[in-house]
Structure 1
């Protein structure tokens, strides 16, 4: 089984990779299954109905408005792709929820509105208090300890108070945007352990995000130390995803990452169906 469980298409505002082109390339590259996980980030991105009423509500990023998935088009498009590419490729329906503790109600509503559609949800922390990591807004005016600890404290609040997710995406994502270099894992071990224990208690998992290679990071995402901690705590639910936004990203480095997981001690990885994990040998 070869699967990529973190795939973005042009339904995400930071990708121009058409869904059917994604699927065709996945078939060409020998993938058995992919999950489409386009972005929804309440608090920093409006929904399309909000944008249509008031275009000024969306930030302009690289010349285009930053808006959440167009839900009315998204789900039918995935269903069409699923039918077109079967049986060569299984296409699963997912999303990447960029959750914040003050936006939980909106994600609850969104999940309930499409309750029968979901296969898989990535829970990611991309911003705190509507301040984003990628542009440095969140880090500005805070010490390295403050912005790192506040990132994990927010993640803990979210996993404790929201249950409609499958895995935590790129758990130590803040490292990628740390202007001072990665904050050592030993400094956050206790709170990361608490997050992982909560995920395990709720029968949730984490992902190994292969984009660490293309971003030239010095460690995996999450780090080998965090993955080892998850393994030692008894964590079993684990997905592997490229965080693809472009053709060159799709499926990248997944075979290598499976070997790295085996070195840590994992023997299985997961795909999902209707929010339930399915285990496969690495």
Structure 2
């Protein structure tokens, strides 16, 4: 029996970093035997150097998702989702967009600090690895404290992806205190975290967040977990999900989350 039931982080041609035809994603989900998938194209705002192709046309995106939902409703449950790149100063604008549309699922992610994209390398310049990682977690905490219109926080420790080999790897013990505050705040607000398998594709040989963070979230009573490939091409859908399911079962997790109109429900791990 296929234990993989869903993929909750998928990008299509509507994202600035993907050219993947959106209908092909749906067809691949059906081929994989998934019960549901969440399309989560990027909604970014006020990042230096952001080109026009990063501006999500939400009207056109929503129209296409709902067309496909109707077309394939007998084969798969298609969720209307979005990944929002949050910064403390963009709360009002981004939350107004989220409230305007009938989203099923929203990922909040930290892609930029003070309008500078983590991928550009400017944030890492002149800082040690620990300084960069601590700065990132401080911003994650600020975002969680400010934002309300989201369901899970995305790839919560993926800062290690950027800046080159020097910045790879997370020393969990050094950042335990602030990570603990982040996890407790998420649980307090009824929010979850995603397990994002793209770390294997980015040669970090792990998923985001690391196993220590996942264990701690579960120890603290966290229950809302989604699993996402963060795929930008359909061939990556559900890649390395078996590793996640095996790990979650090893620490006693019995359910993953599903969302409909921003409300969570729980599916038992098969």
- TM-score scaled to structure 1, two decimals? 0.90
More deviation in 201-210 or 250-259? 250-259
Matches within 5 A, 1:177-192: 177-179=162-164, 180=166, 181-192=168-179
Give 1:72 shift.
1.7
Give 1:178 shift.
4.2
Give 1:264 shift.
2.3
Is 1:215 matched up with 2:192? no
Give 1:112 shift.
2.2
Preserved contact between residue 36 and residue 94 of structure 1 (Cα < 8 Å): yes
Preserved contact between residue 227 and residue 264 of structure 1 (Cα < 8 Å): no
Give 1:255 shift.
3.1
Preserved contact between residue 104 and residue 162 of structure 1 (Cα < 8 Å): yes
Q: Which residue of 1 aligns with 2:23?
A: 20
Matches within 5 A, 1:189-204: 189-204=176-191
Q: Which residue of 2 aligns with 1:249?
A: 236
Is 1:35 matched up with 2:20? no
Task: Report the Cα distance in structure 1 between the residues aligned to 2:262 and 2:124, rounded to whole angstroms.
Answer: 34
Task: Report the Cα distance in structure 2 between the residues aligned to 1:144 and 1:21, rounded to whole angstroms.
Answer: 39
Give 1:141 shift.
2.5
Is 1:224 matched up with 2:227? no
Preserved contact between residue 26 and residue 251 of structure 1 (Cα < 8 Å): no
Q: Which residue of 2 aligns with 1:137?
A: 122
Tell me the C-alpha RMSD between the 2 structures: 1.4
The secondary structure found in structure 2 opposite 1:92 is: strand
Task: Report the Cα distance in structure 2 between the residues aligned to 1:267 and 1:178, rounded to whole angstroms.
Answer: 36
Which one of the candidate residues 5, 30, 35 is aligned to 2:8? 5
Preserved contact between residue 119 and residue 163 of structure 2 (Cα < 8 Å): no
Which one of the candidate residues 114, 121, 126 is aligned to 2:111? 126
- Seen in structure 2, the aligned counterparts of structure 1 residues 147 and 84 have a Cα distance that, compared at 3 Å, is same
Which one of the candidate residues 148, 160, 164 is aligned to 1:175? 160
Preserved contact between residue 169 and residue 204 of structure 2 (Cα < 8 Å): no
- Seen in structure 2, the aligned counterparts of structure 1 residues 178 and 261 have a Cα distance that, compared at 3 Å, is farther
Which one of the candidate residues 249, 253, 267 is aligned to 1:280? 267
Following TM superposition, the consecutive aligned residue runs of length 4 or more in structure 1 with deviations greater than 3 angstroms are none
Structure 1: gaps spanning 5 or more residues: 46-56, 60-64
Give 1:68 shift.
2.2
Q: Which residue of 1 aligns with 2:80?
A: 93
Give 1:97 shift.
0.5
Task: Report the Cα distance in structure 2 between the residues aligned to 1:178 and 1:190, rounded to whole angstroms.
Answer: 24
Is 1:154 matched up with 2:139? yes
- TM-score scaled to structure 2, two decimals? 0.94
Preserved contact between residue 224 and residue 264 of structure 1 (Cα < 8 Å): no
Preserved contact between residue 34 and residue 76 of structure 2 (Cα < 8 Å): yes
Task: Report the Cα distance in structure 2 between the residues aligned to 1:94 and 1:170, rounded to whole angstroms.
Answer: 16
Task: Report the Cα distance in structure 1 between the residues aligned to 2:225 and 2:76, rounded to whole angstroms.
Answer: 21
